[in-house]
Structure 1
């Protein structure tokens, strides 16, 4: 169901902009919303990947659609499924990055939960999910990925990973405090510094990295 993501993003942008085209697209977006809810009910296990098929990434994008477009049924279904899939996740080891990730499976899951759970519920969940953040662990999650060859389309995904990690950490950090917030903010800055200069330079990255740079700098909303 990854094809629903661009449509949901587009429709939420049209609604936010009060574009007359939102009404034109609505029958199609409503149909896709129905298919998405049906798919969620069938998905026994989430797809925990760092690429396009990530279930958590789809939840993040669809949550904005549901909120902006007033689809409370979709948001309710997504919240229930997220709690079912991720609610008991504890002490994430963050064995990442994968060699062609452009998403952090760990952080995109946390971002989905931040968007779907009430504030206090998320704080409790996140503290158990990454309990050693205040001590700078897991280090692999907080250190920018090294990109060895930006002309390789798969390896270049890692620049996107650095940008989407920064996006997730910058969005999650304000829900935390003390040392945890400091660690997240410093790591986000390091990831931005490692990736922003790579947005242009080679077609393998420059035809898509700007999207994730914008997310890292301004957020989804």
Structure 2
């Protein structure tokens, strides 16, 4: 199943959506631990580069969306606006302040591991834009998060499998792509940890989704192993992990989630679950020719359930386009 470059119309729409929120400060949900009254500061002061999009990590992957689509469709009028906004955002001073925030004594767990992975993915995308200073200016922040991830992997005994921001497999799948380019030692560490945590998993029951999950625990794990293992090793592992896929079981993985209230930020996560499942199913389809049709049909069913809801309510609009784009680009 080949990747699908978003059409110019879709790219323009997604860029407009993302630019509408990456600079929107409020409403905002901080990941911020305070040690005194002096730490009571507005988001734009704490995070001069990434204070929009309701929360820090959504702002980061909102910018990933913008930069990715600007690279794919550089001639769009929206691309010129995006470049100007990026130049204003990714300045030395603003990114130095983001880096300094990590040095606060109580910031050790800031955005761990979801935001870390997305910042690495943003830096990787920025590195694909020749002639821009974005990657060089983002690299110190990326290196700082990579160092934190390397340490975290030495102390995290068990993987976190919940389908929310704490999911270990999702963070490692994004981080591995960055590490393969920028930090081979971290890439080796991620592959080793993936093997330790997941190589023995078999006959997955996929008891999902939970009521506010935007990731599939089962398919996030498969996505990581797809990237961490060689083709033959992944095929063998996947046959053990989901042995009844040809019979479309577990049924939970083939059933798009129902979203009852898109104005509720947590319940709106389920639109993201459908998009992230679509992304994972598309990558699995490309890696398992014998099951490509089944996986491809599952991907399309999940995407059909969610793509029309990428915008409309801010609780989803501030982040869903990123996951739609991941699915579109998957191959």
TM-score interval w.r.t. the shorter chain? over 0.9
Structure 1 moving runs of 4+ over 4 Å: none
Q: State the 1:63 CA deviation.
A: 0.8
Q: Is the 8 A contact 2:173 2:223 kept in 1?
A: yes
Structure 2 distance, partners of 1:162, 1:184, is 14
Is residue 306 of structure 2 the alignment partner of residue 195 of structure 1?
yes
Does 2:319 match 1:208? yes
Deviations 1:27-60 (A, max 9, x none): 3322321221111011100010101111001101
Which digits, 9 at most, give the CA deviation of each residue in 1:165-185, with x for residues without a partner? 00000011111123x221111
In the TM superposition, 1:38-117 aligns within 5 A as: 38-69=151-182, 71-117=183-229
Q: Would you say how many aligned residue pairs link Structure 1 and Structure 2? A: 218
Structure with the larger helix share: 1
Question: Aligned runs of 1:154-193 on 2, under 5 Å?
Answer: 154-178=266-290, 180-193=291-304
Q: Can you give the 5+ residue segments of structure 1 that lack an aligned partner in the other structure?
A: none
Give yes or no for contact 1:110–1:126 (8 Å, CA) kept in 2: yes
Q: Does 1:33 align with 2:113?
A: no
Using the size of structure 1 for normalisation, the TM-score is 0.94
Query: Which runs of 5 or more residues in structure 2 are unaligned?
Result: 1-111
Match runs of 1:115-154 below 5 Å: 115-154=227-266
TM-score, length-normalised on structure 2?
0.64
Could you list the per-position Cα deviations for residues 84-137 of structure 1 after superposition, in whole angstroms to 9, with x for gaps in the alignment?
000100000000000001000000010011111111111100110000000110
- 1:16/1:68 contact within 8 Å kept: no
Spell out the pairing of 1:12-27 with structure 2 (5 A cutoff).
Answer: 12-18=124-130, 19-27=132-140
Q: Distance in 2 between matches of 1:83 and 1:204?
A: 36
Aligned CA RMSD, in angstroms, stands at 1.3
Secondary structure of the residue aligned to 2:127 is helix
1:151 Cα deviation from its structure 2 partner: 1.4
**CA displacement at 1:206 relative to structure 2:** 1.3
